[in-house]
Amino acid sequence: MIICQNCGYEADKKYCANCGQILEIKRINLPHLLHEVAHTFMHLEKGFLYTLKELARHPGTMQKKYLSGERLRFQKPFPLFAISTTFAALALYLIYKNSASSVEDDFYHHYYFLVQSIMLPVYAFFTYIFFFRPNLFYAEALVLNVYMVGFMSVFIIPINLLSFVLPNGTISLCEIAFLLSYNVWTYLNFFKGKAIWWVVFKSVASIVGSYLLFNVASRQVMHWFIH
């Protein structure tokens, strides 16, 4: 008999007779994630809004549940990322299409999905390096960041809508404040049990490193497209 990690029901078949989740849950590795990427463009599972709600209420905790095997109720990471960032890119384009933005801001608003997709492995790398633990796979750090970026992409839309009444500098400060606080909150929940100062320090270090490389990547991609 195998105990279902999603609902706790005991069964002896491939799938849980109570909730339908596969019973033999394997740890997430890179081949598994590559399969998920391909799956993104063929299927759209249920649970998108529920997953966003959990990411808003329990960031970090939600990712821990998913990685531990509680996956049936949640939208898979790459479909959620693809939907969220595509929606955010469209929203940013509509918000700023008639504004007098700088070349850098204009590029960021038009190619948000592309830049974030390129940066995902980098975000995961910084998480993996700064929060290195023997039982943390790089692929699991990638899942943590995919969910984070997916949720933050949705939330920056209402922040940028304020650009109609607030200056761009204020919008940028609001974005930075939100991204920083949400990242720290996520890491505090995900690495619960560690000293708070340890998590906050490494969170900030990881975010700063990611931000610096994000700027480098943005400029490089912008150079490719402009030239």
Q: What is the pLDDT of residues 43-88, one digit of tens each?
A: 555 578 889 999 999 999 999 999 999 888 898 999 899 989 988 8
Q: What is the pLDDT of residues 106-134, one digit of tens each?
A: 666 667 777 788 889 989 998 998 888 77
Helix ranges (DSSP H) in 162-195: 168-190
CB contact set of 160 (below 8 Å; sequence gap of 6+): 91, 92, 95, 96, 171, 175
Higher pLDDT, 167 or 35: 167
pTM, two decimals, is 0.78
29 near 139, Cβ under 8 Å?
Answer: yes
CA 169 distance to own-chain centroid = 25
Provide the pLDDT for residue 206: 86
Reported as a pLDDT band with limits 50, 70 and 90, residue 225 is: low
Provide the pLDDT for residue 78: 92
Query: Six-digit token pair at 147?
Result: 């969910």
Reported as a pLDDT band with limits 50, 70 and 90, residue 6 is: confident
15 near 23, Cβ under 8 Å?
Answer: yes
37 near 47, Cβ under 8 Å?
Answer: no
Ranges of each domain in the chain: 27-226
Statement: residue 224 has pLDDT above 80: no
